[in-house]
Structure 1
Amino acid sequence: MQLANDSAGIGVWELDLNSNELIWDEWMYKLYGIKTDKFLGAYQAWENSVHPEDIEDAKVKLEAAINGTGIYDTEFRIIRPDGEIRTMKASAEVVRDDTGAPISVIGVNYDITEKVNTLATLIQAKKEAENSAKAKSAFLANMSHEIRTPMNAILGGLQLLKNADLDLELKNTLNNASFSAQSLLTIINDILDYSKIESNKLELEEAPFSLQEILDSVQYDLDSEVSNKGIDFSVSTDNTCADSWLGDLVRVKQILLNLASNAVKFTSEGSVQIKVTEQIYNNQEAIQFEVIDSGIGMNSDAQQRIFERFSQADTSTTRKYGGTGLGMSITISLIKLMGGEIKLSSELNKGTEIKVTLPLKHSKITTKHTKEKSLTAPKLAKFNILIAEDNRINQALIKSFLKPTTADLTFVENGQQAVDAVKQKKYDLIFMDIHMPEMDGIEAQILINEFDSRIPVIALTANVMKEDIEYYLSQGFTAHIGKPIDINNLYGLLHQFTS
């Protein structure tokens, strides 16, 4: 026993409860840094050595053990004669006579300072990492907002110019500018998604959705690029495949759109096909997407790299086709979050086939997505619309967007002016920016809702992260439309609230 104690550096002590004498072994003196020739009594030495902030708790626990109302298993700090503070782990057993009366306590002490310090260091490191993650998320959210605000004016202006009477050369220049601006917005969204996936903050919704709606939307989004390239693009769905499913509509579309847009991007001639079937995967019904293209293809090394973050097939691919390399990584992460799998088959210069299986549940209810698009503006000649927006460029852009509606438009520059305007005039609809001087959009919406809860108030903001949108809706906003504003989304929303 002594050899074991010596090896572990464990000190043994015994307290005689009749004489109140405390006996220490040699290791106790070493642990406490006290010399035996200067020792005035073990109990006094122990009491004087324990840190003033810890002594009461240590004594209370010892008394509780002696009285039979607790166990003695604790930690406390000691101050050695040289001023060094150490942390002790202490435990003990109470010895009782035949009547159950306590007669002595036998216990041990051992030094756990290094363990405590290491744990404290780890806790501090974890706290710093969490703070860093929060700071990064806040930075990305703010950066997204700051970039989206000018992007709103750029993309909005380009959308308006598409209706202008321009010659062929200018139309081509306009289309190139629109494509480049949309590509920049895609990169911004990819960076935000990657950040959320990396910090485990991306959550999937589970709501009824229509599979056909996703397929139609993907075709709509890629129609312009497919037409410009002159390639064949087809979507076929097996007759036995159900249309109604439970899952995250936005993320399912994101997976398919990323795969299909990559196929179109890397196909200069030939075709891109999307084949949709219903399968059984791990004893559960599942959607299977096959995206087949006749594009540039990949060799075996490139196929391995395509699954890495920030990677594309090779550097020449990046130079020729652009992109961050994040899209595929995000797609794979989303597939894994859904419990699915992805398989890739490709041959250089002969095309690529990607097969994705997503195990989702059937839904008995088909719910159309609330954000319907519309190519035409609704006629709102008798409507009064209030727009709270502090950015003059955005004011001019929204005014141009809403001009075809023939609605009566009122612009204010902050939340307080919006509240005052509602009190002076009846409005049928309000578009409310969030970040404004004097009074922000959230506070203004709450006050307007208290004054007249019947007026739909739509959040119009560059904050587009899921948690932001959910927060706005929980605060009473009727709907949300993000910046940069998609004119077809805007018209679709107006049709919803004015029909």
Structure 2
Amino acid sequence: MAEQQKEQLETILENMSDSLIITDKNQNILLMNAAARAVYPDPDIFNNMSDWFRMINVVDEEGNPIAMENMPSHRAARGERVRNFRTNIMGPHGLVHVEYSSAPLYDTEGNISMIINCSRNVTEEVRSAQLVSNKHEQLLKAEMEKNDALKKAIKLKDDFLSLISHEFKTPITVIISAIQAMEHLCWEQFSDKARRFIGRIKQNAFRQLRLVNNLLEITKIESGQMKLKNGNYDIIFLASSITESVQEHANQKGLNLHFASPMKSKIMWIDDEKLERILLNLLSNAIKFTPKGKSIFVRVYKTVFDHRDMIALEVEDEGIGISEDKQKIIFEKFIQVDSSLTRQAEGTGLGLSLVKLFVEALDGVICLESYVGRGSKFTVYLPVQQVDLHPTNTQDVQTLDNRLIQSVKIEFSDLY
């Protein structure tokens, strides 16, 4: 029985795919299997592992020479177990990558009697890994080059838009200034027909100015150049004043415009100009797309949103509504709802995109709830932030009033 087991063990060792060499503690070879005999010299000529290592040049994976005493078989002779020790050997057919594992065997008295050495040619594995690594590096380099080219293209686009917008803004401003001068200095000298033509020029000049301003703002935000000019402002006063400033346009369309808030005052640390642009754009859309005789509601109130204390600024209309598929893309650039009513009110599709960018710049969130034929409700959630208790002064209020007059003219140019 024992003899049969011995034969089975010898058969297994002989047919192992890995090279197996058993030596004594002095590196004298006691046994080599078939895989080892195919790789190593004839044991009748080189019967000691040290002789074998003296005749080859062994280096580590970084190309540094490995001293004989640091080879796994010699380390195992000192009682160390070594696993998966990779080496590079220059053989007759070129560079070979070999992985060694060695372990000592002890006799009954605890002394090293034999050393088991296994080795495996891992050249194909190493080459495959290198090919994968090289391919990965090439793909990474190509992706980085693509990203760099994309960044350059985006910067070129932003620079181009900024340049063109500035170039457009100058003549538009001159046109508007000239029209305003005619209105104040010689309006009575024009016929009714001429006044209508001038009014049409003025309306379209404001439209172009709005487009240019929106493009400039989007370019600033996307290039990281926009700066907030925060101050402590009464958001109830701001929202009420902005709503009141568009009352005339609501009246012209036969709409009922309502403002409501349970708070009489609320001082917040905020950029009043950005808030103005947000609310004016939402009101402009509400007035554009709400039929005659319907109502628009503006509400400001405290709430908790996403586990934070917020001020909610709500604009709700009884207009045409927005379909569910359009709601998913309504805040993207150059997107407009496709309907006969929207085509009657001209626009570029930049407004809501800019509103969302402004809201996010103020660390807020904008949400939309809409049903076709019933209307839309835009809710802007802004975090409650305050630095001190001093609200805007009288001079700032006067500046707000003057700026609102001009902003409303520009934002509501489609409704004249």
Report the TM-score range of the alignment, normalised by the length of the smaller protein: 0.5 to 0.7
**Distance in 2, Cα, partners of 1:221 & 1:145:** 28
What is the CA-CA distance between 1:327 and the residue it aligns to? 1.3
User: For residue 255 of structure 1, what is the amino acid of its counterpart?
Assistant: I
CA distance 1:136–1:374, shift in 2 (3 Å): closer
**Distance in 2, Cα, partners of 1:296 & 1:362:** 38
CA distance 1:197–1:316, shift in 2 (3 Å): farther
Task: Verify the 8 A CA contact 1:303 1:313 in the aligned structure 2.
Answer: no
2:242 aligned partner: 218
**Distance in 1, Cα, partners of 2:328 & 2:134:** 48
User: For residue 276 of structure 1, what is the amino acid of its counterpart?
Assistant: V
What is the CA-CA distance between 1:227 and the residue it aligns to? 4.6
User: For residue 134 of structure 1, what is the amino acid of its counterpart?
Assistant: K
Say if 2:390 is the partner of 1:365.
yes
CA distance 1:167–1:291, shift in 2 (3 Å): farther
**Distance in 1, Cα, partners of 2:330 & 2:369:** 12
CA distance 1:358–1:37, shift in 2 (3 Å): closer
**Distance in 1, Cα, partners of 2:147 & 2:326:** 37
2:349 aligned partner: 325
Say if 2:174 is the partner of 1:150.
no
- 1:4-153 equivalences in 2 (<5 Å): 15-16=65-66, 36=92, 111=130, 112-153=133-174
**Distance in 2, Cα, partners of 1:27 & 1:16:** 10
CA distance 1:159–1:225, shift in 2 (3 Å): farther
Work out the percentage of aligned pairs sharing the same amino acid.
Answer: 24
Say if 2:329 is the partner of 1:279.
no
**Distance in 2, Cα, partners of 1:224 & 1:160:** 24
**Distance in 1, Cα, partners of 2:221 & 2:152:** 17
1:251 aligned partner: 274
**Distance in 1, Cα, partners of 2:228 & 2:407:** 27
**Distance in 2, Cα, partners of 1:115 & 1:304:** 36
What is the CA-CA distance between 1:245 and the residue it aligns to? 0.5
Q: Find the partner of 1:179 among 167, 189, 203.
A: 203
Aligned residues between the structures: 299
Say if 2:291 is the partner of 1:263.
no
User: For residue 260 of structure 1, what is the amino acid of its counterpart?
Assistant: L
**Distance in 1, Cα, partners of 2:192 & 2:375:** 33
Task: Verify the 8 A CA contact 2:236 2:300 in the aligned structure 1.
Answer: no
Task: Verify the 8 A CA contact 1:288 1:357 in the aligned structure 2.
Answer: yes
Cα deviation digits, residues 45-87 of structure 1 (max 9, x gap):
xxxxxxxxxxxxxxxxxxxxxxxxxxxxxxxxxxxxxxxxxxx
**Distance in 1, Cα, partners of 2:182 & 2:252:** 19
- 1:382-397 equivalences in 2 (<5 Å): none
Cα RMSD (Å): 4.2
What is the CA-CA distance between 1:168 and the residue it aligns to? 5.0
User: For residue 139 of structure 1, what is the amino acid of its counterpart?
Assistant: F
- Structure 2: tracts of 5 or more residues without a match: 1-16, 19-59, 70-85, 97-122, 410-416
User: For residue 259 of structure 2, what is the amino acid of its counterpart?
Assistant: V
Say if 2:179 is the partner of 1:161.
no
Task: Verify the 8 A CA contact 2:162 2:215 in the aligned structure 1.
Answer: no
What is the CA-CA distance between 1:132 and the residue it aligns to? 2.1
**Distance in 1, Cα, partners of 2:285 & 2:208:** 16
Say if 2:363 is the partner of 1:313.
no
- Structure 1: tracts of 5 or more residues without a match: 4-9, 20-24, 30-34, 43-107, 377-480, 490-499
Bigger CA drift: 224-233 or 142-151?
Answer: 224-233
State which structure, 1 or 2, has the greater radius of gyration over its C-alpha atoms: 2
What TM-score does the superposition give when structure 2 sets the normalisation length?
0.58
Task: Verify the 8 A CA contact 1:277 1:288 in the aligned structure 2.
Answer: yes
**Distance in 1, Cα, partners of 2:318 & 2:197:** 28
